[in-house]
Amino acid sequence: MTFDLKIILVEPLYQGNVGSVARAMKNFGFYDLTLVNPCELKMEARAFASHAYDVLEGAKIVDTIEEALEGSDVVIATTGITGLKVDEHIRMPPYTPRELKEKFSGTNGTVAVIFGREDHGFTNEELKLSDVIASIPTSEIYPIMNLSHAVTIILYEMSQITAGENCLADGFDLRLLYEHIDEVLDDIDYPAHKKEKTHLMFKRIFGRAQLMPREVQTLRGFLGKVQKHIK
Amino acid sequence: MTFDLKIILVEPLYQGNVGSVARAMKNFGFYDLTLVNPCELKMEARAFASHAYDVLEGAKIVDTIEEALEGSDVVIATTGITGLKVDEHIRMPPYTPRELKEKFSGTNGTVAVIFGREDHGFTNEELKLSDVIASIPTSEIYPIMNLSHAVTIILYEMSQITAGENCLADGFDLRLLYEHIDEVLDDIDYPAHKKEKTHLMFKRIFGRAQLMPREVQTLRGFLGKVQKHIK
């Protein structure tokens, strides 16, 4: 029974930040780092990693977020821009790092936390890949934190999680559930322009609810029965 | 009724760290930075401060910790080396950042948090100036955090404090109390080699207890009466 944390940096721009993140990870006992299409990593990254060069050298380097997320049961995206309510299903509601800790205490599974680029964060398309949104409460005057500082806060909270009995639903099964929901939306001629938002709403609700494996199966059974009656 | 936080860096060695600390402070809404005998601060410090150059430029630069601490009611020293029990009254017991937050919620006064050098932390003499010791719970394998990461964790917790009715005892009055204790130790011919440890023990106890102004006066009254009966 373990709680595994994967840290994923999406297209980090500065090698010093990547090294600093590796150091913070080792400080809090985490080792699973994945870099999506990162900047060049040379001496500066190593200098900032200090005694965590093993975490830096062990980092997986991949081309896409999708590859990075393989094997994760839950995907948490961290974003600094919580004031924006441009599309509330994309960004809302955000959890604080403390709430994340409370939410995942007593669970077991693999949780990925993804961090966006230093300058532009995530695209909306990228945010849609996440089940849960997290945001660090900062001053409105200057909310944009250094990347490694933001990672450090998340790690500080997540390091206080103790794994427990509650098994998180398998990420693969969840993807099947979301595909199933899309099928049903098609079956009931759901308005095309609302489909994506509603898909995302379900994802956010189930993300917050932390579905258990059995609940995923029951939901799929329910959807199957709905489909049978439609046809 | 306010809770004021002063961040004090003692002889920081790397200007990038000083800049990063300024940025983290502004991220969490803090502006009072004091640097004791810092490294040279040039372009790199400014680059790392990013939009917090106002915090960096507003930093007070002083020659001694004592100067930096003027006007503080409580002094918290952060140290990474909690495993060491070389002198338990110097370092023990350490509070976690979360415990600090809980401890100071509902109080008002000026609290200084001091951070040591990147390489050697604090000397024991410096640690004796603090009322409370804090330590961030990290992995035993690699406990030494980057300076700005450690500051960020402390700021993250302290930013969640809301000031309240409980007025912290004035730092000046506390110093008079500790001097009074030393007087009494002299009056009762306390063994010279134990005097400093006992002084420090009182400081740690009263630091944990967060004395109220009236309690400081009552304690001094008590000590005065003790002295009268001795003489």
Q: CATH no. for residue B61?
A: 3.40.1280.10
CB proximity B119 to A under 8 Å: no
Task: Please tell me whether residues B195 and B141 are part of one structural domain.
Answer: no
Residue B179 and residue B183: Cα distance in Å, rounded?
Answer: 6
In the listed set A151, A167, A183, which residue is the last one of a domain according to the structure?
A167
Residue A210 scores a pLDDT above 70 = yes
What is the structure's pLDDT at B39?
A: 98
Minimum Cα–Cα distance from B26: chain A residue: A142
Question: For position B216, which CATH number holds?
Answer: 1.10.8
Residue B111 scores a pLDDT above 60 = yes
| Residue B176 CB neighbour total at 10 angstroms | 12
A142·B26 Cβ contact <8 A: yes
B84-121 as b/e, with b when 16 or more CB fall inside 10 Å? eeeeebbbeebbbbbebbebbeebbbbbbbbbbbbeeb
Average pLDDT of the residues in A134-140? 94
A138·B24 Cβ contact <8 A: no
Which of these, A139, A156, A134, lies nearest to A29 by C-alpha position?
A156
B83 confidence band (pLDDT: 50, 70, 90): very low
B87 confidence band (pLDDT: 50, 70, 90): low
Min Cα–Cα distance to chain B from A152, Å? 7
Task: Please tell me whether residues A203 and A162 are part of one structural domain.
Answer: no
B149·A149 Cβ contact <8 A: yes
Residue A64 scores a pLDDT above 50 = yes
Task: Please tell me whether residues B62 and B112 are part of one structural domain.
Answer: yes
Average pLDDT of the residues in A124-133? 90
Q: Are A64 and A36 in contact (CB under 8 A)?
A: yes
Question: Which of B81, B152, B155 is the best substitution to test chain A (most A C-beta atoms within 10 A)?
Answer: B152
Q: Are A87 and A196 in contact (CB under 8 A)?
A: no
Q: Return the higher-pLDDT residue of A94 and B65.
A: B65
Which residue in this structure is represented by tokens 């081309």? Answer: A63
- Enumerate residues 6+ apart whose C-beta is below 8 A from B116: B10, B11, B77, B78, B79, B122, B126
Average pLDDT of the residues in B165-170? 90
Min Cα–Cα distance to chain A from B158, Å? 12
In the listed set A132, A167, A202, which residue is the last one of a domain according to the structure?
A167
What is the structure's pLDDT at A83?
A: 47
What is the structure's pLDDT at B81?
A: 63
What is the structure's pLDDT at B91?
A: 62
Residue A38 and residue A117: Cα distance in Å, rounded?
Answer: 10
Residue B143 and residue B136: Cα distance in Å, rounded?
Answer: 9
Output the average pLDDT for chain A. Answer: 92
B146·A50 Cβ contact <8 A: yes
Cis bond upstream, residue A93 (ω within 30):
yes
- Beta bridge pairs of residue A78: A115, A134
In the listed set A145, A167, A189, which residue is the last one of a domain according to the structure?
A167
Residue B231 and residue B226: Cα distance in Å, rounded?
Answer: 9
Residue B15 scores a pLDDT above 60 = yes
* Phi-psi label, residue B171: left if phi above 0, alpha if psi -120 to 50, beta otherwise: alpha
- Beta bridge pairs of residue B113: B7, B76
Q: Rank A48-62, A73-87, A156-170 by mean pLDDT and report only the highest.
A: A48-62
Q: Return the higher-pLDDT residue of B187 and A208.
A: B187
Task: Please tell me whether residues B131 and B202 are part of one structural domain.
Answer: no
Number of domains in chain A: 2
Task: Please tell me whether residues A82 and A109 are part of one structural domain.
Answer: yes
Residue A25 scores a pLDDT above 90 = yes
Question: Which of A152, A157, A159 is the best substitution to test chain B (most B C-beta atoms within 10 A)?
Answer: A152
A91 confidence band (pLDDT: 50, 70, 90): low
The interface residues of chain B toward chain A in range 160-199, judged by CB-CB distance below 8 A, are: 160
Of B26, B136, B149, the CB nearest to A148: B149
Q: Which domain holds residue B187?
A: 171-230
